[in-house]
Amino acid sequence: MSAATTRAELIREAVLALAADADALADLCTDGMISREMAVWALRTATARFVPRVLAERSATPDLTGRSVAVVLAESVPTAPLRAIALPLLRGASRVLVRPPRGQARFAQRVVARLARLPVECVDTGDPTAFLRDAYAQGVTRVIAFGADATLVSIANARPHGVTVEARGHGFGIAVVGAEASMIDTAADIARDIVHYDQFGCLSPRAVFVQSESAAPFAERLAVALARLAAELPRGPLDPELAARITQWQGAVAATAAAFHRGAAYGVAALGSAGFMDSPGARNVTVVPVTDAEHALGLLGASLRHLTCVGVGGDHAPVRRALSAASRSRVVTAGTMQDPPLDGYEDPRPPIVSGPD
Amino acid sequence: MSAGLDAHGEALWQRVHAHVAHGADARLETAEFESLALEIFAWQRTRCAAIDRVACAFGGAARVTSLDELRAVPTDAFKTARIACFGLDATTRVFRTSGTTRDVRGEHELADTSLYERATIASAQRWLLPQARYRFVLLAEPESDAPNSSLSFMLARFVGHWSLETASSPWMIDDGVVAIDRVRAALAASSVDGVPAAVLGATFAFVHVHDALATSERFVLPPGSVAMPTGGYKGRSRELQPDALFALINERLGLARSQIVQEYGMTELSSQAYEAPVESDDSARAPRSPQRPSKIGTCYVAPPWMQVTAVDPETLAPLPHGARGILRVVDLANVGSCIAIQTADLGITHEHGFEVLGRAPGATPRGCARALDALLTESR
């Protein structure tokens, strides 16, 4: 049995144990400020992808063999540490040092604890600079860093000679609804994509583009679907600042929207004309009328490079055609945006690599 | 006088005007306030579609029958919609929120500024400028250079009402730079002749004055002098904690904490609230709390035509005194725009005033939210 196979099996064992760990659920609730019901869904979904066949595939090209790797995690969905920690191990890293995200350390620490039979450890320093300085002193030659652009640039610029940095920045998702799609079914699907992780993930749809002259009918159905899901997957608690931001956004949008639907835990605005308006998350979204997929993607402007995923109601082909050949954004069926295959990181975009291969 | 409103609006405007004319000392009974507020808000919903859309979104289409039910229009709505109850051709003044050229700025239109002026003077007379005359040292752009600044408008009205006759301009910002020699001359003049100085303006400008003065330069302003830093730092100077700012003003101008009066106002309002001392001759207006120190507290007091309520950040339902929430302001002087304004400011109300706690500190946006805001802003 090869080392890779053993490693894949150990990861599989750890993930199975994690999936049954009640404390892991509690960690997700605390780290992600999500409801218990959401944590149950999140843990089940995130761990289910770690099946032997896929783990074997991910182990098949161990490009990090012999390398000591540092993983700098950032605020994200609370299950993100699972892939971020497992993947370098599957890629053959001889050692993985993990710096958990600030304020979201519990689940990362639990993942590392479950992987205790593998060469991975959590180093919980407050400052990524200090963490990396110590990591370099211990022979780390590869950094996989997640976070905001400014942080990633800083890490890349400060790397010593011989160190490679893979920078993975933030991104966002959108949903596109083709004219041929069933409005009711697609609304239910997109509602799931919005509700999962309370719309705070890098795959979460921040806007919905509907191939239609009017966004109002779809917006109404989406609001109904979100209201229904609120009981099954309650929204997590909001801190006062976020709640205040949501109120401001809802007021600003409601003042001009063609229609606005507001519930205890959601806000859906049907815009009267095409445009891209950001959302504060927490199940707040605009529905935008567009002529086609190309129109929708065109409205993103320079933001397009941050697009990670498009959830599609209807035919995927127009969306694939509208995305440039260079785009690596996921194009998936609406309702599945938050359950990406274990083909790599959740965000499929290639990292920005600085340094030697 | 005409406020550019329809007949009903004019009548409401006159009623508010009458209350404001009684001054900030007068009483406006709660029931009367509520009745007038609800009538104005209902009328505003018929005159401004944006107000009605927001009201429907937050509280439903039915007429609001109590202030407890009232769901105010968030300040950000002023960025996306015209919040005005008169035609475009009646607009005589537009106040804009501050921000960079890339930011979308909120706009507050007025057809008639007389109510705004009267309200501003009345409140300032009660809590900021009780003396008969002042030598003004205005750390803000002149109104002529900043016609969209509500702060400059307000300060210009103060000058018109209280200014000592003098050939020198009270405006101390020239082309964005503090005219330190003129500041120095005005402060020195008051220190010598005993005329109370009113040093009013942008918070960051106080820091600029401090930095521009020689290290040892001090002024001892005469009794009755006052300082009013307002509007925050806006990234235009280093930021100081409040106590450090007060210490700086005390050090340079010889003003005690009791002579530094903070103001609570915003572009979207017509009225202002001011810090009032805990010790006050008017015991009915003074905020009281057994927890508050016996010297000056940090409670704001609003004039009788302005009501500040803390509401639950999620449900927007009013909270009892002492509970933390986000502040909702009902400003009757906003007859021409919207009297019910929902801020994003965290605060607590007390029986006779309210505290502003700023934006919720240290709240960490979840997931990709903050970064997304930034990257989308960069992409625009």
User: CB neighbours (10 Å) of residue A77?
Assistant: 26
Instruction: Please give the Cα distance from B60 to B78 (Å, whole number).
Output: 20
**pLDDT for A148 beyond 70:** yes
Instruction: Please give the Cα distance from B200 to B197 (Å, whole number).
Output: 9
Encode pLDDT of A331-354 as tens digits: 999 999 999 999 999 999 999 999
Element (H, E) at B151: helix B150-162
Which of A38, A256, A284 best tests the B interface by mutation, with the highest count of B CBs <10 A?
Answer: A256
Please report, for residues A160, B196, B244, B246, the alpha-carbon distance to residue B210 in angstroms, rounded to integers and kept in the order given: 43, 20, 12, 12
Instruction: Please give the Cα distance from A228 to A191 (Å, whole number).
Output: 9
Q: What does DSSP say about strands B173-174 and B177-178: parallel, antiparallel, or unpaired? A: antiparallel
Instruction: Please give the Cα distance from A281 to A269 (Å, whole number).
Output: 13
Report the range of poorest mean pLDDT among A197-206, A302-311, B319-328, B354-363: B354-363
Encode pLDDT of B273-290 as tens digits: 999 875 443 443 344 333
**pLDDT for A159 beyond 60:** yes
Report the pLDDT value the prediction gives residue A327, as an integer from 0 to 100.
Answer: 86
A208 neighbors A278 (Cβ within 8 angstroms): no
Give the mean model confidence (pLDDT) for residues B361-379.
Answer: 47
Residue B301: which pLDDT band, with cuts at 50, 70 and 90? very high
Report the pLDDT value the prediction gives residue B100, as an integer from 0 to 100.
Answer: 60
Instruction: Please give the Cα distance from A198 to A76 (Å, whole number).
Output: 12
Report the pLDDT value the prediction gives residue B299, as an integer from 0 to 100.
Answer: 87
Encode pLDDT of B39-57 as tens digits: 999 999 999 999 999 999 9
Nearest residue of B to residue A277 by CA position?
A: B376
Report the pLDDT value the prediction gives residue A125, as an integer from 0 to 100.
Answer: 75
Do B342 and A251 make contact, defined as CB atoms within 8 angstroms?
A: yes
Give the mean model confidence (pLDDT) for residues B57-79.
Answer: 96
Give the mean model confidence (pLDDT) for residues A155-178.
Answer: 95
Report the pLDDT value the prediction gives residue B232, as an integer from 0 to 100.
Answer: 72
Q: What are phi and psi of B245, to 5 degrees?
A: -65, -45
**pLDDT for A180 beyond 90:** yes
Quick one: B62 exposed, middle or buried, by C-beta within 10 A (0-12, 13-18, 19+)? exposed
Give the mean model confidence (pLDDT) for residues B292-299.
Answer: 44
Report the pLDDT value the prediction gives residue A325, as an integer from 0 to 100.
Answer: 78
For chain A, the first-to-last Cα distance in angstroms comes to 28
- Measured CB to CB, residues of chain B less than 8 Å from chain A are 50-51, 53-54, 56-58, 73-77, 79-81, 83, 313-316, 324-326, 342, 344, 346, 359-360, 363-376, 378-380
Residue among B255, B184, B196, B198 nearest B230 (CA): B198
The DSSP code sequence of A313-333 is ES-SHHHHHHS-TT---EEEE
Give the mean model confidence (pLDDT) for residues A7-14.
Answer: 95
**pLDDT for A83 beyond 70:** yes
Report the pLDDT value the prediction gives residue B134, as an integer from 0 to 100.
Answer: 97
Please report, for residues A74, A314, B93, B184, the alpha-carbon distance to residue A55 in angstroms, rounded to integers and kept in the order given: 24, 31, 66, 74
Give the mean model confidence (pLDDT) for residues B168-177.
Answer: 91
Encode pLDDT of A22-35 as tens digits: 999 999 999 999 99
Element (H, E) at B192: helix B180-193
Report the pLDDT value the prediction gives residue B167, as an integer from 0 to 100.
Answer: 77
Which of B51, B76, B103, B368 best tests the A interface by mutation, with the highest count of A CBs <10 A?
Answer: B368
Report the pLDDT value the prediction gives residue A333, as an integer from 0 to 100.
Answer: 98
For chain B, the first-to-last Cα distance in angstroms comes to 44
Instruction: Please give the Cα distance from A94 to B105 (Å, whole number).
Output: 53
Residue among A202, A95, A170, A144 nearest A354 (CA): A144
Report the range of poorest mean pLDDT among A9-23, A322-336, B72-86: A322-336
Alpha-carbon gap: B327 to the closest alpha carbon of chain A (Å): 10
**pLDDT for B363 beyond 50:** no
Alpha-carbon gap: B145 to the closest alpha carbon of chain A (Å): 29
Alpha-carbon gap: B60 to the closest alpha carbon of chain A (Å): 10
**pLDDT for B247 beyond 60:** yes
> For the CA atoms of B170, B172, B175, B178, what is the dihedral angle to 10 degrees?
180
Residue A324: which pLDDT band, with cuts at 50, 70 and 90? confident
Instruction: Please give the Cα distance from A328 to A350 (Å, whole number).
Output: 8
pTM of this structure:
0.92
Between vectors from CA A233 to CA A230 and to CA A234, what angle results, nearest 5°? Answer: 60
- Joined tokens for residue A189: 């699907």
Average pLDDT over all residues of chain B: 88
Report the pLDDT value the prediction gives residue B102, as an integer from 0 to 100.
Answer: 63
Element (H, E) at B273: strand B273-275
Report the pLDDT value the prediction gives residue A276, as an integer from 0 to 100.
Answer: 86
Q: Is A302 helix (H, G, I), strand (E, B) or coil?
A: helix
B342 neighbors A246 (Cβ within 8 angstroms): no
Q: What percent of chain A has pLDDT over 90?
A: 89
Do A239 and B363 make contact, defined as CB atoms within 8 angstroms?
A: yes
Report the pLDDT value the prediction gives residue A40, as an integer from 0 to 100.
Answer: 97
Instruction: Please give the Cα distance from B179 to B329 (Å, whole number).
Output: 36
Q: What are phi and psi of A282, to 5 degrees?
A: 55, 40
Encode pLDDT of A48-75 as tens digits: 999 999 999 999 999 999 999 999 999 8
Sign of CA dihedral B154, B156, B161, B166: positive
| Predicted complex: ipTM over 0.95 | no
Secondary structure letter of residue B134 according to DSSP: B
**pLDDT for A141 beyond 90:** yes
Q: Looking at the DSSP assignment, which residues form a beta bridge with residue A354?
A: A165
Encode pLDDT of B312-339 as tens digits: 999 999 999 999 999 999 999 999 999 9
* Residue with the two structure tokens 């509401």: B311
Give the mean model confidence (pLDDT) for residues B299-323.
Answer: 96
Encode pLDDT of A99-118 as tens digits: 999 889 999 999 999 999 99
Encode pLDDT of B178-198 as tens digits: 999 999 999 999 999 999 999
- Joined tokens for residue A296: 């929708």
Instruction: Please give the Cα distance from A173 to A205 (Å, whole number).
Output: 4
Do B375 and A170 make contact, defined as CB atoms within 8 angstroms?
A: yes
Report the pLDDT value the prediction gives residue B315, as an integer from 0 to 100.
Answer: 94
Report the pLDDT value the prediction gives residue B40, as an integer from 0 to 100.
Answer: 98
Give the mean model confidence (pLDDT) for residues A277-283.
Answer: 92
Nearest residue of B to residue A268 by CA position?
A: B57
Q: Is A339 helix (H, G, I), strand (E, B) or coil?
A: coil
Do A244 and B326 make contact, defined as CB atoms within 8 angstroms?
A: yes
